[in-house]
Amino acid sequence: MKKILLNIFILSALLNAAGGRGREIMQEHYSLPKADTMSCLAIMMLVDNKNNKKMRQLKIVEKDTADGKNSFIEFLSPAEVKGTKFLTYGYDNEDDEQRLFLPDLNKITRIKSSGKGKSFMGSDLNYYDMETKSLDDSTYKFRSEETIKNRACYIVTIFPQDKDVPYQKMDAWVAKDNYFIYKYICYDKNGRKYKTITFSAVKKIKGVLIAARTKVHNHLDQHLTLMKMDNIKVNQAVNPAVFSIKNLK
């Protein structure tokens, strides 16, 4: 009986250690230096399953706050989306507040929590992908290790705790050398492989790691979203009025 109890104790300790290791790795990730402000111009390319392409130009402005990260996105072209604006007030310990302005309707819409899984402007990013994330939003499990593109990574499975999150889980490839996440595989609520998000052209600007290229592959729709960020500016003054609701119109 003592031997059985000892084996159960050892097994339990090993399981707890695996879970604890996953959280420790993600804690290192969330402890990476963050930009007080970031701005850039970006090109978003949408590619459907017939290789038809749509290109959009946008500007992005972000500011880190005591509560989370605020962000403002404005579409500059083409004409069909020009003037569309998206504002996020990020909160570490509660749902982010997101608003979308559509110029054709001259209307500001607040994104509901139940709408986190909806596509952002026809892309393969959803509104949840645009939110601020924090360590305590999820639980974690260390899975294994793998080298991708000559970079050794830990693989950690992330289990979001919010029922409105459109993913059942996400596998994250966290680099051993800098704890930056270079890849996610996201699974839908039915456990199907939903999409793969990869980050490349990672630059260190004023001590902050930023991915200048993002690729989102939607496996269910066989659709791609490609993002290229240029003219990236870090820790430069930003007018606070950029993040006002008045600035949406």
Q: What is the mean pLDDT of residues 30-59?
A: 97
Q: For 158, how many CA atoms within 13 A lie in the half-sphere containing its CB?
A: 29
- Kindly tell me if the per-residue pLDDT of 145 is higher than 80: yes
pLDDT grade for 3, boundaries at 50, 70 and 90? low
Percent of the chain with pLDDT over 90: 88
Is residue 61 classed as helix, strand or coil in its secondary structure?
strand
Q: What per-residue confidence (pLDDT) applies to 19?
A: 53
A 10 A CB-CB count for 152 gives: 12
| Cα R_g (the chain), whole angstroms | 20
Q: What per-residue confidence (pLDDT) applies to 15?
A: 45
Closest to 214 measured CA to CA, from 73, 46, 21, 10: 46
Closest to 246 measured CA to CA, from 14, 52, 87: 87
Is the pTM higher than 0.85? The answer reads yes
Q: What is the mean pLDDT of residues 40-57?
A: 97
pLDDT digits (tens, 9 = 90+) for 97-133: 999 999 999 999 999 999 999 999 999 999 999 998 9
DSSP 229-244: EEEEEES----GGGGS
pLDDT grade for 146, boundaries at 50, 70 and 90? very high
pLDDT digits (tens, 9 = 90+) for 78-98: 999 999 999 999 998 788 999
Q: What per-residue confidence (pLDDT) applies to 7?
A: 52
Tokens coding 235: 């820790």
Residue length of the chain:
249
- Kindly tell me if the per-residue pLDDT of 66 is higher than 90: no
- Kindly tell me if the per-residue pLDDT of 234 is higher than 80: yes
- The 3-state DSSP composition of the chain as helix, strand, coil percent (nearest 5) reads 20, 50, 35
Site of tokens 């996953």: 22
- Kindly tell me if the per-residue pLDDT of 240 is higher than 50: yes
Closest to 131 measured CA to CA, from 120, 143, 122: 120
pLDDT digits (tens, 9 = 90+) for 175-224: 999 999 999 999 999 999 999 999 999 999 999 999 999 999 999 999 99
Q: For the chain, first and last CA: distance in Å?
A: 71
List, in sequence order, every beta strand (DSSP E) within 132-205. 138-148, 151-160, 169-175, 181-187, 193-205
Q: What per-residue confidence (pLDDT) applies to 213?
A: 98
Q: Which domains does the chain have, with CATH numbers?
A: 13-248 (2.50.20.10)
Helices (H), the chain: 2-30
